[in-house]
Amino acid sequence: MSKRKLKEDSFTNGECISKVQRILRERFCHQSQNGKLFGTELQYKQLLELLKRTAINGESNSVLIIGPRGSGKTLLTCHVLKKLMEVKEVRENILQVHLNGLLQTNDKIALKEITRQLNLENVVGDKVFGSFAENLTFLLEALKRGDRAHSCPVLFILDEFDLFVHHKNQTLLYNLFDVSQSAQTPIAVVGLTCRLDILELMEKRVKSRFSHRQIYLMNSFDFKKYLNICKEQLSLPAVFPEKSFIQKWNKNVQSLLEDQKVQDVLQNQFHYSKDLRSLFMLLMLASSSITVSHPYINASDLLEAGKHCRMDSKANIVHGLSVLELCLIIAMKHLNDTYGGEPFNFQMVYNEYQRFVQRKAHTVYSFEKPVVMKAYEHLLHLELIKPVEGPSMCTQREYLLMNLLLDNNQIMDALQVYPNCPTDVKQWATSSVN
């Protein structure tokens, strides 16, 4: 009987862990409309009110949502649209067009996409996909024939708005803003961008037709709010089926966030970037260690996740270099120390390397100059060094000036974990004698 009960308990624990993993993965990897908004309640109300005036009252509007990447511009828009669609009157009448500057790279592609999303492809046959002028004329006629009382409102959501500004003559933006200023088909143009200078990029005729409404998302919360976001994201919802597990899990989360080491990791992340996507990646890595035998996140999981998030990609490249290439990096380091960071060329690096080989001839294998040159070129391909100027036909490659793209700390950290690094090479790196 006891064995049977033990099996049932372990099965229940396994189910709980699976559900926890699924809930957290959904939160961190898929920022859906059901996710929470943090610190953007005022902006949410502003945008909702603006789009309601278009959807219900037939009032045309244009607005820019401006903020750094990861500040929640797209999530905010999704939440507002979801709330808007809960109104039956709106849901049955409104049309939405979603464009992205990364996908619709010119006005012609954008017009075709607008036509497709408005289901207008078959209205006039092949003419819809004729010239750019025909497309534009048809779309404008379709929009301008309406009036506020009888036309369906159209919402234009333009993600990566700053890329549309770079389109030739800004024709699409000009015409959309022009329609939004007229008393014809009610439209709302919502632009999402991370460029603070976006208005300066607009042409004068486009800027004059824009309403100059701007909503800013600047991640202005403090560290205390940041900790609360962590707590909310890690805590399990009340609808979780296993009530006793919820209490244990949420109590563990509370004690975890009170740990000073954990707070240090989160504070480093906070000062590095307030981007919530970076925070979610950190929490995702920490929660991926959850298993039946390790059912709760502890401080060491978060510390390890912090190391992965802040891992230096260039230092990782150094770990895979050959000993010869590592010696060349150290030679460049000594040249930088000696000449105060002035550019160097291959011949200088080779001379430095040769002096080291002559001093340690009994332990370090000496390579021929063409082999050393090949290793030097490999460092160039890996972008650990870069030319001061573009390749010149007049300058021999041995004398082309280069800069090292690694600092001393990166080099020394990489040496500490370099597998089977010769002792003489390590001592050469730490010595101040060339």
> pLDDT truncated to tens, each residue of the chain (434 aa)?
444 443 434 435 778 888 888 888 888 887 655 567 777 888 999 999 999 998 888 888 999 999 988 888 988 999 999 999 988 888 878 889 999 999 999 888 888 888 888 877 655 555 545 566 566 667 767 666 555 556 788 899 999 999 999 988 898 898 888 888 876 778 899 999 999 999 999 999 999 999 999 999 987 788 888 899 899 889 888 888 888 888 889 999 999 999 899 999 899 888 888 888 888 889 998 888 888 888 889 888 888 888 887 777 777 788 888 889 999 999 999 999 888 889 999 999 999 999 888 887 666 678 889 999 999 999 999 889 988 875 555 667 788 889 998 888 888 888 888 878 888 888 888 886 44
| Final residue in a domain of this structure, among 282, 309, 336 | 309
Domain assignment present for residue 23? The answer is: no
Question: Contact, 211 vs 146, CB < 8 A?
Answer: no
Q: How many domains does the chain have?
A: 3
Residues 237, 172 within the same domain: no
Instruction: Give the pLDDT score at 4.
Output: 43
Alpha helices in 202-322 (DSSP H): 204-209, 223-234, 243-258, 260-272, 276-287, 299-309, 313-319
Strand partners, 65: 192, 215
pLDDT of residue 207: 92
Cα angle 12, 15, 20; round to 5: 125
- In a shared domain, residues 146 and 198: yes
Q: Phi and psi dihedrals of 45, rounded to 5? A: -65, -40
User: Do 233 and 276 belong together in one domain?
Assistant: yes
Domain that holds residue 380: 315-430
In what order do the strands lie in the sheet containing 187-193? Answer: 95-100, 154-159, 187-193, 61-66, 213-216
The string of pLDDT tens digits covering residues 230-249 is: 998 898 888 888 888 888 89
Query: Cα 300 to chain center, whole Å?
Result: 26
> Is 198 in the same domain as 301?
no
Torsions phi, psi for 66 (to 5 deg):
-120, 135
Do 173 and 57 lie in a common domain? yes
Say whether 145 sits in a helix, a strand or coil.
Answer: coil
pTM of the model: 0.68
364, part of any domain: yes
Strands 187-193 and 154-159: what pairing? Answer: parallel
